[in-house]
Amino acid sequence: MLKSPDGGLRSVPFPIEDPERIPARRYYDQAFYDAEVEHLWPHVWQMACREEQLQDVGDWIEYENVGKSVIVVRTTSGVKAFHNACRHRGVPIAGGTTIGSSHATAHGNCAKSGFVCPFHGWRWNMDGENTLVYGKHLFSDRQLDADDINLIPCRAEVWGGCVWINHDDDAPSVKESLGPVADRLEAHNVQALRAEWAYGTVLPANWKIAMEAFMEGYHVMQTHPQLHKPMEGVYHDPFDPDVVLRKEGSANARRVAVEGVTSQQAVEMQKHHLALLSEGMAGMVHAKEVEIAKSVSHEGLSQDPNLAVPQWYGLVMKHISEGLRQRGEPVPDLLAVAQSDPINAVEFLFPHHFLLPIFSSMSAYRIRPLGPESCFFELWSLTFYPEGQEPDPVMEPIVLPFDSPEFPPIPRQDYSNIPIQQKGLHAKGFEFMRLSKDMEGLISNFQRILDGYLAGLPQEALAKAQHQLGGNFDGPIVELWG
């Protein structure tokens, strides 16, 4: 709950007063949406593009969110970003993308041509300096001061293989905002990953509804039964309070006591599970990693399946690291980083980016609102490539209807819930979502930090609260402002 000792904070529409209850109106009320547009998005680091999309000097890409377009460009002196409006009469100097359309991401190269406004042809170089005004003599001198007609810079930072932009010059850096999770992801060489494919879709749901479908594993049993079934009859109900949940290294799926099977059978089930995850996501656990995992035998492992499974995972990490490094891929020593810098199977990077690492490869998501009840959801498969063998960068997502059979099966299952949940929120008498305090804590923590932005808490306090989101997937509701 937000207190305002100095009376200086804004009031939040439909605020979270009980951390276990999220008011339904936050997901469709126009005033709440407008508050986010005004007080959240202009102050946070937004994942604007993947760094590899700006390979050569002059490469540019447009990033738009909540009506604000920014051009990100690789210059001879690093990556820069500019607000996308001609200094004459405001036409976007490049792109003008319609998010959610089949061409969701405008891009090009300006090394030779610079940027040319399509309306009256004013020009700028890649550093945003104006290089041409047609008919200069037609304007008063004071209208054409050099500084005044250069493109307006936007803050941009490169971190973790992505370019991030922020409209707020006072916000802490990307790394300071993310906190310790950034160091852990760096230890996993996240900056060297490359996209092998990208999909996008418009979901008829509030952006937070779409995001929150990926903030807990509580839904796996019902929504992704194929991922749950291999455990039935062998594993205890993972939600049984008598079962002690353990986390094991970076492959930290919740695993629970195994009964009535041999070590060999337990290992075979893990192989099957990894293959289902890999096929279900068309990545995350990359097919090449599944191949290696399948080749790792149960022989020599403990007779006790509860010991054999973590032993086997350790061996799989070792073999993946060694096998892929031999091919020249910049894979970290997975076993070492699982000890030194363990990361979660889902890492949420506030406010709208996710990384889902299991071994070396990852899935990634980015979600942007298109209105109170619509959003654009993108997903990437990220993996390592040997140096010099990287594929051409994926410049645009393949945009499909959310119910397209072309989506990998797991996101398709998630997408089947999201639009209907949005409908359910409007039901008479449905005032709030009730959250598990132990497993759906990330939703509450995320939403309460959002309230912090809407209320106008100091950036320092907001960043400190965000640090608690690292590793919070499937975790508890926490005290944020203490």
Minimum distance of Fe ion from residue 224's CB (angstroms): 6
Of 41 and 207, which has the nearer Cβ to Fe ion? 207
Of 130 and 363, which has the nearer Cβ to ligand FES? 130
Our finding on whether 440 is near Fe ion (CB under 5 A) is no
Q: Which stretch binds ligand FES (CB under 6 A): 112-120, 202-210, 261-269, 311-319?
A: 112-120
Of 340 and 416, which has the nearer Cβ to Fe ion? 416
Q: Which stretch binds ligand FES (CB under 6 A): 62-70, 72-80, 120-128, 384-392?
A: 120-128
| Residue selected from 122, 199, 313, 354 as contacting ligand FES according to rule CB under 6 A | 122
| Residue selected from 80, 88, 224, 254 as contacting ligand FES according to rule CB under 6 A | 88
Minimum distance of Fe ion from residue 236's CB (angstroms): 21
Identify what 414 binds: Fe ion, ligand FES, none; CB under 5 to 8 Å per kind: Fe ion
| Residue selected from 18, 34, 119, 431 as contacting ligand FES according to rule CB under 6 A | 119
Per-residue binding string, Fe ion, 398-417, x by CB under 5 A, is ----------------x---
User: How far apart are the C-alpha atoms of 206 and 419, rounded to whole Å?
Assistant: 9
Minimum distance of ligand FES from residue 435's CB (angstroms): 49
| Residue selected from 1, 4, 11, 89 as contacting ligand FES according to rule CB under 6 A | 89
Minimum distance of ligand FES from residue 135's CB (angstroms): 11
Applying CB under 6 A, the residues found at the interface with ligand FES are 86, 88-89, 91, 117, 119-122
Applying CB under 5 A, the residues found at the interface with Fe ion are 414
